Chain A
Amino acid sequence: MLTVEALDVFYGRAQALHGIGFEVRAGQVLVLLGRNGAGKSTTMKALIGLLRPAAGRVVFAGRDLTGAAPHRIARAGIGYVPEERRIFPELTVAENLAVGRQKPRDGLEPWTPARLYALFPNLGAMPERLGARMSGGEQQMLAIARSMMGNPQLILLDEPSEGLAPLIVEQMAQAILALKAEGVTVLLAEQNLHFAQALADVAVVIEGGSIVWQGSMAALRADAAARARYLAV
């Protein structure tokens, strides 16, 4: 579904990504693991088009999206949930969802606020609440729901568990599994290995902007040496 080939990304003169390449298959959950500053968020931003790669290719559902504008990439069927959530603070929950709305996609049941409120009951209880007045967990749910309004085939979830209470993290994991069950492909960036293990089929470990390990989640679980080397804090 998504093929990333040899991606190089720079901030000014500093190179942040060195030849990142991986593939996400339809219906999978792939997790990008790595410590702070490893390049997870940079990869996500480059995929949605907020950063322009200096080299490499991004192919999604057979279309070359390398260097395309963010709104084109989003319309091609990729949803983006940034690490900072970036809820529109002065819009209500319902308005935030309305901003995300895009045309229905062939063969998928279109997402509506009602369906999303069923998935995230907390949001359904506060459609008129302003974005600025929500807790971190509620904002995270809204960010995911908002990106689903665009009926994406693939969503990029950047550290959805960050800074949330354990109970909320558990809810978040359930929601992501529910999305997976609906046929949505997920690219997840995480530091929380425990959270990732519960969700992901495939893992890609990055460090210093390069891929240092990739394989199935089961293989990573079995590889204690790799876990200690790349992920232990």
Chain B
Amino acid sequence: MLITALNGLAAAATLFLLASGLTVIFGATRIVNFAHGSLYMLGAYLGWSILARLPHTPWGFALGAVATMAALALFGALLEIGLLRRIYRAPELFQLLATFGVVLMVQDVVQHLWGPAELSLPRPPWLRGFVLLGGARYPRFDLIVIAVFPVLLGALWLGFTRTRWGVLVRAATQDRDMLAALGVDQRLLFTSVFALGAALAGLAGILALPDGSADLTMDLSAVTDAFVVVVVGGLGSLSGAALASLLLGMLQSFGVLWLPRASLVLAFAAMAMVLALRPNGLLGRPLAGRGVGEVVAFIRPAPRALRLAGWFALGAAACAPLILGPYALSVLMEMLIAMLFAASLHLMMGPGGMPSFGHAAWFGIGAYAAALAVHALAAPLPLALPAAVLLAAFAAAAFGWFVVRLSGVYLAMLTLAFAQICWAIAFQWGDVTGGDNGILGVWPGLGVRGFYWLVLALCAGGTLLLRRVLAAPFGHALRASRDSSLRAEAIGLDTGRLRLAAFTLAGAAAGLAGGLYAFAEGSVFPTYISLQRSVDALLMVLLGGVQTISGPILGAFAYTGLYDTLLSLTDYWRFVLGAMIIVLVLAFPQGLAGVRLPGAAR
């Protein structure tokens, strides 16, 4: 019992180290720093290299930790000056995307510098030491980690309440313009806050080394954990983050004891419960709404020329199997599925006004539902596909019930966390999902041509249906609730139900895309739910332009083509893709909604 509680405290300390940096950065700059996990990963790798050159003593470790924090602070400051400073006024989705570009670039850089293998520390005697507690042996290093928690919390509290710097940062979180009008240069302030957050992430990274190792997946798992903690605690609230870290750390530690398989589900259930009772987190305050209105989607009937072009493209696609070989057909199918997937995300974030950073969840649920129906129930395709749609719709409705009332940032972070949890389930629940090996042999039982026509009919039909829905009164009501939910409610619209309906519909369409994809590939893997796939969909929508309904369609084709080219050209495709995302965001900081792409007619 004592040991479990101590384990919970150690887990809480680790969570707090991560979350404190994230929440401090958000509080001051209002940026959700997706790259926080990358800073943590850099801390672990850099720390590993630094510690290797220092004596393996406690003092050597402490010195290494300080050096790592300093290096990360410098890196964070450069990142703030080079990138974040330029996008403070951009829509939040663009900020998330830009910092995700950093995630991608850091992944490739780390892999290039340190290689793909896991790195662990040599364990000198002082790290292996144990302490006797109530008859049980407890690792001494874990006690040190636990001690870091109150020390850090106290130091941060003192820094924010007792120093001029802290008072200025708190003033900045409350009213930036007024602070500037009082003569405070915020650029310096924000750079220092970001450097502090990065240093904290670096400390978390180096403290993770003795009990674990540095590996290339730690960035995303860390940032997901940090998001959950920060959302539960309330965005920007330091004490909230501390409380949530304790809660989730304990839940994790005792959860493993009682329900070994369900620790992730427990964390998620706790999060859902907290948000249902307190939509702004335990100690959070409502965020001053920046509104999602920046991402405006105008829906008009397609002009005649575009409609003709559309019908022509559809006709050409229908004739394609008569001309093209199987490989070209499979690429076309991939594009068609991407089109439906992107269109479903567009419905959610454009007209629905609900930014989603985890759209792959519904895609993956659809894919796994179809594959499991085929495998476990021996269902044929005509049964497996509806199962995919229904299950994805059901999951979207259940999850949506908790989140549709939330504001943009919370929604983006929660959808991301949900997708990561789905990914973890697919990855860990080997008995059912096959784990990393996936499920193989999911074939449609149709010829290539027959299946292609099915994909074409369902994807084109589905996309047209989504489009039709937006032009219907439901679509108008949905946009009304996005633009002004108060006014929409005042004229009698039930905005919560409208948003939930859109959320469910988008989930169902993404589920259909996922189910088709499972059959097209003949297999499912956890990567179908990966963050990368969610971001793919976002990029397709943003690339095509959120303001147009044909945007996601064009974006899906353009992006799939670009991506395949990139993969074949370079091993460092993540680096290139990340750099491209950043350039895109810097070039259009107000969102592509302000730009009319020549190809994307309204």
Report A's interface with B, CB cutoff 8 A. 48-50, 69-71, 73-75, 80, 82, 86, 88-91, 95-96, 98-102, 146-147, 150
Interchain nearest-CB distance for A120 vs B (Å): 17
| Inter-chain contacts of B174 with A (CB < 8 A) | 88-91
Q: Is residue B180 within 8 Å, beta carbon to beta carbon, of the partner chain?
A: yes
Report B's interface with A, CB cutoff 8 A. 164, 167-168, 170-171, 174-175, 177-186
CB nearest neighbor in A for B182: A100
Q: Given that A70-B177, A86-B175, A98-B164 are known contacts, is A146 also in contact with B170, CB under 8 Å in the complex? A: no
Interchain nearest-CB distance for B182 vs A (Å): 5
CA separation between A74 and B164, bound complex, in Å?
A: 18
CA separation between A49 and B177, bound complex, in Å?
A: 10
B180 contacts A88, CB within 8 Å?
no
Interchain nearest-CB distance for A25 vs B (Å): 23
CA separation between A218 and B344, bound complex, in Å?
A: 69
B177 contacts A99, CB within 8 Å?
no
CB nearest neighbor in A for B161: A95
Interchain nearest-CB distance for B395 vs A (Å): 39
Instruction: Give the most central of B164, B178, B181: most A CB within 10 Å.
Output: B181
CB nearest neighbor in A for B184: A71
CB nearest neighbor in A for B166: A95
Count contacts between A and B, CB distance < 8 Å. Answer: 62
Interchain nearest-CB distance for B430 vs A (Å): 49
Of A50, A82, A102, which contacts B183 at CB under 8 A? A102
CA separation between A95 and B179, bound complex, in Å?
A: 13
A99 contacts B180, CB within 8 Å?
no
Q: Given that A98-B167, A99-B167 are known contacts, is A88 also in contact with B183, CB under 8 Å in the complex? A: no
CA separation between A100 and B184, bound complex, in Å?
A: 8
A88 contacts B171, CB within 8 Å?
yes
| Inter-chain contacts of A49 with B (CB < 8 A) | 180-181
CA separation between A150 and B179, bound complex, in Å?
A: 12
CA separation between A99 and B186, bound complex, in Å?
A: 12
Q: Given that A70-B177, A88-B174 are known contacts, is A147 also in contact with B182, CB under 8 Å in the complex? A: yes
A48 contacts B181, CB within 8 Å?
yes
A-B contact pairs, 20 of them (CB 8 A): A48-B181, A50-B177, A69-B180, A71-B181, A74-B182, A80-B181, A82-B181, A86-B178, A88-B171, A88-B175, A88-B178, A89-B174, A90-B170, A91-B170, A96-B171, A98-B167, A100-B182, A100-B183, A102-B183, A147-B182
Q: Given that A49-B181, A82-B181, A88-B178 are known contacts, is A71 also in contact with B186, CB under 8 Å in the complex? A: yes
CA separation between A71 and B180, bound complex, in Å?
A: 5
CB nearest neighbor in B for A101: B164
Q: Given that A71-B186, A88-B174, A88-B175 are known contacts, is A99 also in contact with B181, CB under 8 Å in the complex? A: no
B185 contacts A71, CB within 8 Å?
yes
| Inter-chain contacts of A80 with B (CB < 8 A) | 181-182
CA separation between A100 and B180, bound complex, in Å?
A: 10
B164 contacts A82, CB within 8 Å?
no
| Inter-chain contacts of B185 with A (CB < 8 A) | 71
B167 contacts A74, CB within 8 Å?
no
A88 contacts B177, CB within 8 Å?
no
Interchain nearest-CB distance for B294 vs A (Å): 14
CB nearest neighbor in A for B164: A98
CB nearest neighbor in A for B168: A99
Of B167, B177, B181, B186, which contacts A95 at CB under 8 A? B167
A82 contacts B167, CB within 8 Å?
no
Interchain nearest-CB distance for B191 vs A (Å): 14
Interchain nearest-CB distance for B88 vs A (Å): 14
| Inter-chain contacts of B180 with A (CB < 8 A) | 49-50, 69-71, 74
14 more CB-based (< 8 A) A-B contacts, given A50-B180, A91-B171, A98-B167: A50-B181, A69-B180, A70-B177, A70-B180, A71-B181, A71-B182, A71-B183, A73-B181, A75-B183, A82-B178, A86-B178, A90-B170, A90-B174, A96-B171
| Inter-chain contacts of B181 with A (CB < 8 A) | 48-50, 70-71, 73-74, 80, 82
CA separation between A77 and B168, bound complex, in Å?
A: 19
CB nearest neighbor in A for B188: A71
Instruction: Give the most central of A86, A99, A150: most B CB within 10 Å.
Output: A99
B178 contacts A74, CB within 8 Å?
no
CB nearest neighbor in B for A151: B183
Interchain nearest-CB distance for B190 vs A (Å): 13
| Inter-chain contacts of A101 with B (CB < 8 A) | 164
| Inter-chain contacts of A82 with B (CB < 8 A) | 178, 181
Identify the 4 closest CB pairs spanning chains A and B, nearest first: A74-B183, A70-B180, A86-B178, A80-B181
| Inter-chain contacts of A102 with B (CB < 8 A) | 182-183
Interchain nearest-CB distance for A32 vs B (Å): 18
Interchain nearest-CB distance for B237 vs A (Å): 11
| Inter-chain contacts of B171 with A (CB < 8 A) | 88, 91, 95-96, 99
| Inter-chain contacts of A48 with B (CB < 8 A) | 181
Instruction: Give the most central of B177, B178, B180, B184: most A CB within 10 Å.
Output: B178
| Inter-chain contacts of B167 with A (CB < 8 A) | 91, 95, 98-99
| Inter-chain contacts of B183 with A (CB < 8 A) | 71, 74-75, 100, 102, 150
CA separation between A50 and B167, bound complex, in Å?
A: 22
CA separation between A147 and B175, bound complex, in Å?
A: 15
CA separation between A86 and B179, bound complex, in Å?
A: 10
Of A73, A75, A98, A99, which contacts B179 at CB under 8 A? A99
CB nearest neighbor in A for B285: A90
Interchain nearest-CB distance for A140 vs B (Å): 14
Interchain nearest-CB distance for A129 vs B (Å): 15
CA separation between A101 and B185, bound complex, in Å?
A: 13
Interchain nearest-CB distance for A71 vs B (Å): 5
CA separation between A204 and B14, bound complex, in Å?
A: 62
Instruction: Give the most central of A49, A88, A147: most B CB within 10 Å.
Output: A88
| Inter-chain contacts of A89 with B (CB < 8 A) | 174
CA separation between A95 and B186, bound complex, in Å?
A: 17
| Inter-chain contacts of A50 with B (CB < 8 A) | 177, 180-181
A88 contacts B164, CB within 8 Å?
no
Interchain nearest-CB distance for A115 vs B (Å): 18
CA separation between A85 and B178, bound complex, in Å?
A: 9
Interchain nearest-CB distance for B186 vs A (Å): 7
| Inter-chain contacts of B179 with A (CB < 8 A) | 99
CA separation between A82 and B180, bound complex, in Å?
A: 13
CA separation between A6 and B559, bound complex, in Å?
A: 50
Interchain nearest-CB distance for B411 vs A (Å): 25
CA separation between A96 and B168, bound complex, in Å?
A: 9
Interchain nearest-CB distance for B306 vs A (Å): 29
| Inter-chain contacts of B178 with A (CB < 8 A) | 82, 86, 88
Of A70, A86, A88, which contacts B170 at CB under 8 A? A88
Interchain nearest-CB distance for B172 vs A (Å): 9
| Inter-chain contacts of A146 with B (CB < 8 A) | 182
Interchain nearest-CB distance for B197 vs A (Å): 20
CA separation between A62 and B167, bound complex, in Å?
A: 33
